[in-house]
Amino acid sequence: MTHLQRESCELAIVGGGPAGLAAATLAAELGVETVLFDEQSAPGGQVYRNVEANAPRHDALAAILGGDYAGGLALVRAFRASGAAYEPESAVWQVAASGKVGVSRGGRAYLTRAQRVVLATGAMERPVPVPGWTLPGVMGAGAVQTLMKASGIVPDRPVVLAGCGPLLYLVAVQLVRANAPLVAVVDTSAATLAGTVRAALPLLPAFAGDLAKGLSWIATLKARRIPIHKGSRLVVEGTGRVEAVTFDSGGRRVRIATSLLLLHEGVIPNNQVTTSLRCKHVWNVAQAAWRPETDPFGATSSARVAVAGDGAGIGGARAAVHRGRLAALDAAFRLGRIGRDERDARARPERTALAREARLRAFLDRVYRPAEAVRPLDDDTLACRCEEVSAGELRGLIAEGFTDLNQLKSFSRCGMGQCQGRMCAGTVGRILAEGLATDMAAVGHYRLRIPVKPLPLAELAELGHADRNDKPVLEVADGDPSQRI
């Protein structure tokens, strides 16, 4: 596992989480020249971040993070032993339809050409744009979990968790185990606990362990006397930083003082690269998110590119592993390492397991539909935090006749900040859909241009392995000069 500026490879995998690790391991075992590019310094992704260092520990941190997290160590070890090349601390800022991959590492950028690319970029937390969400002291629940995994850092000030989804309760339990000052949990989901239990009954034979685990998290919080509120219409209060959160609960307005508010309403596919490639995307109504259109092996409408894991639609860590293996099998077939019959035969158990996981995901999507993250915004609430554009400003432009999402982006600058629309794309699309009395599928999504990650001009000027006779060196879509820089 070396760190090189590679001119070419057979298979480039982007992302070192469960899907990327599984895909790289199997592809290398099948004889494919495989390189995994990963932004982190060690494999594991967000789910298993820093697992090699944390899992073998016999201290409080290992107990806090739990057995599911430690289970990721087996994936990492299998990858380390597979023979696949590993390029850590490597940010991929471009993937072109031709297989050209732009990488930035150690202050230098370079291009490499891959015959096949598997994007295993995973998911990101869904932004929750409530009034006051940009105040210092408001974070995503996953961000605090990342701090625990990466550095063993836990909050030392009063914390409130607000939102919905399994991760909300997992993080709450982890904070309790870490003796962090958790003040309350505000559950914004519409489903009641009794209704959730009833909906889960058909899943008991296959997923008893998963369902029991979720109930145990709630029981742990109740045993520690952590208040759990059903709430809606969140508002963050504070002057200069968060001081309290208020919400409707049981017919009254509740206010809870806090110094740290963690918001979470599920995760959405991280599809910046597939969007920049102009891959076909579909609106997933159940998950309220865009995802790239893929075949059973993860192949997209871009001939050389596949997507594995949550980037193709949220399925969870176990599903990501199966999707990664399916993408690897298809890559090995396309690259001539195995035949179609072998690919299909080896794919059957993976597809069966994936179908099983889809049953649990459908249940979670149903009972934990985002509420606060899709509620109509007050005019004063910021829709785009990078450019500080409010919902009211966007509605004003729509009233003036702006009916195209990308036109709205150009005139408002929403989506043109450093995050490249990661934090505002869904919100701006929703405001436009509301203004036009239509749905998200009708308004579409942003057209992204490269680089999809910030790239210093100094690195671009010294771009390694660029063909100086191929102008321009940065390409987005083959055959479409208007999409080249």
394 CB-near residues (< 8 Å, 6+ apart): 383, 408, 412, 414, 428, 431, 432
Tell me if 138-265 shares its fold with 378-443.
no
Residue 179 has pLDDT above 70, yes or no: yes
Q: What is the pLDDT of residues 203-225, one digit of tens each?
A: 878 888 988 998 999 999 999 99
CA 392 to chain centre: 28
Classify burial at 435, counting beta carbons within 10 Å of its beta carbon; exposed 0-12, middle 13-18, buried 19 or more.
middle
Give the Cα separation of 75 and 32 in Å (integer): 19
- List the structure tokens of 390: 């409010």
* Cα torsion angle, 55, 59, 65, 67, sign: positive
Q: So what's the pLDDT on residue 472?
A: 40
Residue 471 has pLDDT above 80, yes or no: no
Give the Cα separation of 341 and 260 in Å (integer): 55
Q: What is the mean pLDDT of the chain?
A: 92
Give the Cα separation of 106 and 110 in Å (integer): 11
The superfamily CATH assigns to domain 138-265 is FAD/NAD(P)-binding domain (3.50.50.60)
Question: HEC profile for the chain?
Answer: CCCCCCCEEEEEEECCCHHHHHHHHHHHHCCCCEEEECCCCCCCCCCCCCHHHHCCCCCHHHHHHCHHHHCHHHHHHHHHCCCCEEECCCEEEEECCCCEEEEEECCEEEEEEEEEEEECCCEEECCCCCCCCCCCCEEEHHHHHHHHHHHCCCCCCCEEEEEECHHHHHHHHHHHHCCCCEEEEEECCCCCHHHHHHHHHHHHHHHHHHHHHHHHHHHHHHHCCCCEEECEEEEEECCCCCCEEEEEECCEEEEEECCEEEEEECEEECCHHHHHCCCCEEEECCCCEEEECCCCCCECCCCCEEECHHHHCCCCHHHHHHHHHHHHHHHHHHCCCCCHHHHHHHHHHHHHHHHHHHHHHHHHHHHCCCCHHHCCCCCCCEEECCCCEEHHHHHHHHHCCCCCHHHHHHHHCCCCCCCCCCCCHHHHHHHHHHHHCCCHHHHCCCCCCCCCCCCCHHHHHCCECCCCCCCCCCCCCCCCHHHCC
| Average pLDDT over every residue of 224-236 | 96
Q: Which pLDDT band holds residue 420 (cuts at 50, 70, 90)? A: confident
Burial 312-344 (b: 16+ CB within 10 A, else e): bbbbbbbbbbbbbbbbbbbbbbbbebbeeeebb
Closest to 238 (Cα-Cα) out of 265, 226, 254, 256: 256
- List the structure tokens of 161: 């968790």
Q: So what's the pLDDT on residue 483?
A: 38
Model pTM? 0.92
Q: What is the pLDDT of residues 11-49, one digit of tens each?
A: 999 999 999 999 999 999 999 999 999 999 999 999 999
| Average pLDDT over every residue of 436-453 | 92
- List the structure tokens of 34: 């495989």
Q: Which pLDDT band holds residue 419 (cuts at 50, 70, 90)? A: confident
The superfamily CATH assigns to domain 8-125+268-366 is FAD/NAD(P)-binding domain (3.50.50.60)
- List the structure tokens of 277: 């490639």
Q: So what's the pLDDT on residue 117?
A: 98
Give the Cα separation of 294 and 279 in Å (integer): 9
249 CB-near residues (< 8 Å, 6+ apart): 186, 229, 230, 231, 232
Number of Cβ within a 10 Å radius of residue 252 = 7
Percent of the chain with pLDDT over 70: 95
Q: So what's the pLDDT on residue 467?
A: 67
- Domain ranges in the chain? 8-125+268-366, 138-265, 378-443
Instruction: Return the CATH number of the domain spanning residue range 378-443.
Output: 1.10.10.1100
Q: What is the pLDDT of residues 274-297, one digit of tens each?
A: 999 999 999 999 999 999 999 999
Give the Cα separation of 193 and 367 in Å (integer): 10
Q: Do β-strands 228-230 and 260-265 pair in parallel, antiparallel, or remain unpaired?
A: unpaired
Q: What is the pLDDT of residues 297-347, one digit of tens each?
A: 999 999 999 999 999 999 999 999 999 999 999 999 999 999 999 999 999
